[in-house]
Structure 1
Amino acid sequence: MLVRDYIEDALYNPHYGYFSRKAQIFTPPGGSHFDFGAYKDSTQFEVAVANRYVELTQGDKRAGGKQLWHTPTELFKPWYGQAIAQCLVSEYLLKYFPYEDLVIYELGAGNGTLAEDILDFIRVQYPEVYERTRYTIIEISTSLARQQRRRLYNKHKSIQVINKSIFHWDKREESPCYVVAMEVVDNFAHDVVRYDLHTLEPYQGLVAIDEYGDFNPFYSKLTDPTIRSYLSLQRELGYPPSLGRLLGVPILRKAFANMPFAPNMSTPEYVPTRLYSLVRVLRDHFPRHRLLLSDFSSLPDAIEGVNAPVVQTRLDGTMVPCTTLFVTPGYFDIMFPTNFEQLRDMYEHVLSQPYIAGWGADLDSDASETPSDASSPRSQSPGVLSGYFSSFHPASRRIPMDGIASASGLPVGERKSSVFTHAEFLQTYSDLSRTQLRSGENPMVDFYKNVKFLF
């Protein structure tokens, strides 16, 4: 199987996948929240978090122990969720209120904490907006979907939980909407690519399982259309193959390849094919969406390779990193960093492409190969025709869709997405006094320095 299929099976298989059997989300004491003003400094707060880990994991007798992981949503609730809500409402009030509903889609909602905090905040602070809010959770996990319904359905009538993979989404949302993905894409499957050092021909990574249950990775000529389409997009955006600084120079690469016992292929590169597929789903099924995404931009203890993941498990309360991707499925978390600058460029480029019904519906088809008549203006979608006769268009704005003006009422298109650090985003939208310690430190801003936002 392709490496991305192996990763998805290891993480999401309903019978033995890591998230189906082992993983549990960290929650603050008493199911409430930390009283940040009660802690002297960040050291004392970290001790409190560590003690809570012990409470949640002690007495667990399962093989491998309880796989507990935390998110800023749970660690800093409800203030983190309120910052997300403030961001969404601010944009909505500026652009759409009172003519459109506030439509929010959340991908992978975990315990449902973020959805609850967002809706609670809007109900109290913006009751007029709350009356016009529609909130939909798209959740791949059956058990988490049940938990989210129990937690949210009796409290908020505007919410709907759909137990489905976003990659199998088949409805088209014509209204303007916001798609929220917090701490989701780090567990999206990637493919592995290596390049022949003599020809620079790419090879796709696969894994075979023998009769003893051992995993045997190998490489074959590139045939998968999704990988091919992504690499084509990389080249179009000006991102060269990841060969390293030295091997990127032809003469040095040739000299290295001719050395005795030198490898004939480049270092493995992990390419975000599932993230690429997500962007295509958003373009095709949510044409007027705005994406708010946050995740890790870098990770320590990664295995060998470019954009390589961290493969780890928790054993007796200690996190143990591995040196290989190919481990027993179900016992190990596999987390990838996200190159946010490349994601932004890829996202904006894909959104600028026309949507043609029936083309690209299969996420494993080669979306880079457009129909033969797609180059003529008459066959293009309205989003492309809007700027067809324009002599100037701002580089910071998207090409507008026909009949849909921007907030200014001018046909200048939506603002393009930008990348923000974790601290920059929270300093803009959160009430930092709520998470400040007595020393003046603020863990909600100071923690997660390796996290970024795309909005």
Structure 2
Amino acid sequence: MLARDFIEDSLYNPNYGYFSKSATIFDWSEEPLDFSKIRNNVEFDVVVADRYAAYEADKQLWHTPTELFKPWYGQAIARCLVAEYLLKYFPYEDFVIYEIGAGNGTLAANILDYLQEEHPEVYDRTRYTIIEISGNLAKKQKQRLRRSHPSVQVVHKSVFHWDTREPAPCFFLAMEVIDNFAHDVVRYDLDTLEPFQGLVTVDKKGDFDMIYTKVDDPLISSFLELRRQLSHPLPIGSLFQRFPSIRKLYRNMPFAANLSKEEYIPTRLLSLLRTLRNHFPRHRLLLSDFSSLTDTIPGVNAPVVQTRVQNTTVPCETLLVHQGAFDIFFPTDFQHLRDMYEYTLSRPPTRPQTSWDDPSLPERSTPLSFNSLSLSLGSDFFSSRIPGRRSPLDGVASASGLPVGERKSSVFTHAEFLETYGDLDRTRLRNGENPMLDFYKNVKFLF
């Protein structure tokens, strides 16, 4: 099978997948941690380690900033979303939020608790939908949220199988999710630079191997074409690409490889962007995940493959491991993601028109549309080619909070985002350090 199918089977198979059977998300007690009583970041590490030790040995356990810094991290997300909603849609539209991969349901609970307490008039107009692929987590989310927020809807489905169009303005959350999106493996012929796709094979003894064939998968082909359109570089040295004579010289060397090293391409991430374009035409995306990782397996944009043994994390050196027993997660190049996102949204939907389409919406309405004029202009609202359109003015902010004429989304470091929206006094330690800012330096936001 294709590498991405192997990864999805390993992580999400309902019978033996890692997230279906093995994984446990670290969870504090219901009472939030009193950060003001902790001396410094070293002591905070000890507190977290002690809480980890309370879990059973060999449990596949990991933590997220949502859990470590609850409810303050979730409240920062809520402030970001409600500021946009109040600025652009209230009181004419409902506050519609979708979240994929909601874990224990902690982020949803923190957001809704904050709205209920601080913005009751917004809370009364909030529709919160969770799209969750894991049956166990979907059940846990329902049990946790419906006690205090019975209007929350939990849909047990993969986001890649989503088939319902949301015509209203909405916010789409993907927090610590896309790192576990399946990637494909591609290598390039060093003579011709032709790409080859990776296929996982298994022999009669049950041992895995990877073979390479010419690309015939439509999703891989689409990603490679998108990269060409965006002028993103190939993972091959520029001299190799420009001068066939250098490639020939290298290939004549003893034991020279005929294929480049493995590259892991985010094909399922492209599937998500297409889903947003086709089914959430007026969304605003808030996404956060790892921008870099250590202990990765060999290759370009390669993942970390790891498991836990006796409460110790053990990284591996290959993707070809026993399905369901290992976590597989990838870094994301956020500058490339932003390019892919905006280019994909600028394309027409790839679905046929159906009876449930809203005829009042343009076929390619922008995710940042904020009034009737922008909707009537459709995607051309952001075009500088419209006759008579005023030139962007330096320092003038658009409704999205971005300077007029600039990109429709921005990339922020973890600290930059939380310095803007977080209540930092709540997570400051006695010596002035702030683990909510100091930790997760390899995480970024797209908004």
Q: With the length of structure 1 as denominator, give the TM-score of the two structures.
A: 0.87
The one-letter amino acid of 1:237's match is L
Residues 111-148 of structure 1: CA deviation (Å, up to 9, x unaligned) = 00000000000111111111111100000011111111
For 1:284, the equivalent position in structure 2 comes to 278
Name the CA distance, whole Å, in 2 between partners of 1:129 and 1:315.
46
Deviation of 1:38 (Å): 0.9
Question: Aligned in 2, Cα 1:385/1:444: closer, same or farther, shift over 3 Å?
Answer: closer
For 1:39, the equivalent position in structure 2 comes to 38
Residues 40-76 of structure 1: CA deviation (Å, up to 9, x unaligned) = 110011011011111113xx4xxxx210000000000
For 1:309, the equivalent position in structure 2 comes to 303
Question: Aligned in 2, Cα 1:152/1:345: closer, same or farther, shift over 3 Å?
Answer: same
For 2:120, the equivalent position in structure 1 comes to 127
Asked whether the equivalents of residues 136 and 162 of structure 1 are also in contact (C-alpha less than 8 Å), the reply is yes
The one-letter amino acid of 2:16's match is Y
The one-letter amino acid of 1:213's match is G
Name the CA distance, whole Å, in 2 between partners of 1:157 and 1:260.
68
1:425 equivalenced with 2:421 (yes/no) = no
The one-letter amino acid of 2:386's match is S
Question: Aligned in 2, Cα 1:45/1:384: closer, same or farther, shift over 3 Å?
Answer: closer
1:78 equivalenced with 2:77 (yes/no) = no
For 1:369, the equivalent position in structure 2 comes to none
Q: Secondary structure at the match of 1:170?
A: coil
Name the CA distance, whole Å, in 1 between partners of 2:392 and 2:82.
22
2:204 paired residue among 199, 208, 211: 211
Deviation of 1:355 (Å): 2.0
1:275 equivalenced with 2:284 (yes/no) = no
Deviation of 1:254 (Å): 3.2
Name the CA distance, whole Å, in 2 between partners of 1:357 and 1:228.
19
Name the CA distance, whole Å, in 2 between partners of 1:247 and 1:430.
47
Asked whether the equivalents of residues 165 and 280 of structure 2 are also in contact (C-alpha less than 8 Å), the reply is yes
The one-letter amino acid of 1:113's match is T
Q: Secondary structure at the match of 2:55?
A: helix
Question: Aligned in 2, Cα 1:122/1:358: closer, same or farther, shift over 3 Å?
Answer: same
1:238 equivalenced with 2:231 (yes/no) = yes
1:345 equivalenced with 2:339 (yes/no) = yes
Give the alignment's Cα RMSD to 1 decimal. 2.2
Name the CA distance, whole Å, in 2 between partners of 1:122 and 1:443.
25
Q: With the length of structure 2 as denominator, give the TM-score of the two structures.
A: 0.89
Alignment of 1:62-73 (within 5 A): 65-73=58-66
1:90 equivalenced with 2:83 (yes/no) = yes
Name the CA distance, whole Å, in 1 between partners of 2:220 and 2:104.
33
Instruction: Say which is worse superposed, 347-356 or 237-246, in terms of deviation.
Output: 237-246
Deviation of 1:32 (Å): 2.6
1:294 paired residue among 284, 288, 292: 288
The one-letter amino acid of 2:408's match is K
Question: Aligned in 2, Cα 1:393/1:204: closer, same or farther, shift over 3 Å?
Answer: farther
For 2:215, the equivalent position in structure 1 comes to 222
Q: Secondary structure at the match of 1:56?
A: coil
For 1:102, the equivalent position in structure 2 comes to 95
Asked whether the equivalents of residues 311 and 334 of structure 1 are also in contact (C-alpha less than 8 Å), the reply is yes
The one-letter amino acid of 2:416's match is E
Asked whether the equivalents of residues 420 and 454 of structure 1 are also in contact (C-alpha less than 8 Å), the reply is yes
Q: Which runs of 5+ in 1 are unaligned?
A: 360-380, 398-405
Name the CA distance, whole Å, in 1 between partners of 2:328 and 2:300.
15
Name the CA distance, whole Å, in 2 between partners of 1:191 and 1:354.
25
For 1:434, the equivalent position in structure 2 comes to 426
1:188 equivalenced with 2:181 (yes/no) = yes
For 2:104, the equivalent position in structure 1 comes to 111
Question: Aligned in 2, Cα 1:167/1:417: closer, same or farther, shift over 3 Å?
Answer: same
The one-letter amino acid of 2:249's match is A
For 2:166, the equivalent position in structure 1 comes to 173
Asked whether the equivalents of residues 139 and 163 of structure 1 are also in contact (C-alpha less than 8 Å), the reply is yes
Deviation of 1:391 (Å): 4.2
Residues 313-336 of structure 1: CA deviation (Å, up to 9, x unaligned) = 111111111000000011100010
Give the fraction of aligned pairs with identical amino acids, expressed as a percent.
63
For 1:375, the equivalent position in structure 2 comes to none
Name the CA distance, whole Å, in 2 between partners of 1:248 and 1:52.
51
Q: Secondary structure at the match of 1:8?
A: helix
Name the CA distance, whole Å, in 2 between partners of 1:27 and 1:261.
51
Q: Secondary structure at the match of 2:445?
A: strand
For 1:443, the equivalent position in structure 2 comes to 435
Name the CA distance, whole Å, in 2 between partners of 1:335 and 1:162.
24
Asked whether the equivalents of residues 71 and 183 of structure 1 are also in contact (C-alpha less than 8 Å), the reply is yes
Question: Aligned in 2, Cα 1:35/1:354: closer, same or farther, shift over 3 Å?
Answer: same
Name the CA distance, whole Å, in 2 between partners of 1:413 and 1:91.
19
For 1:14, the equivalent position in structure 2 comes to 14
Aligned residues: 416
Deviation of 1:249 (Å): 4.7
Name the CA distance, whole Å, in 1 between partners of 2:211 and 2:417.
42
Asked whether the equivalents of residues 295 and 453 of structure 1 are also in contact (C-alpha less than 8 Å), the reply is yes
Asked whether the equivalents of residues 304 and 330 of structure 2 are also in contact (C-alpha less than 8 Å), the reply is yes
Q: Secondary structure at the match of 2:19?
A: helix
The one-letter amino acid of 2:26's match is F
Instruction: Say which is worse superposed, 385-394 or 334-343, in terms of deviation.
Output: 385-394
For 1:403, the equivalent position in structure 2 comes to none
Asked whether the equivalents of residues 94 and 127 of structure 2 are also in contact (C-alpha less than 8 Å), the reply is yes
Deviation of 1:424 (Å): 0.2
Name the CA distance, whole Å, in 2 between partners of 1:156 and 1:208.
47
Instruction: Say which is worse superposed, 246-255 or 262-271, in terms of deviation.
Output: 246-255
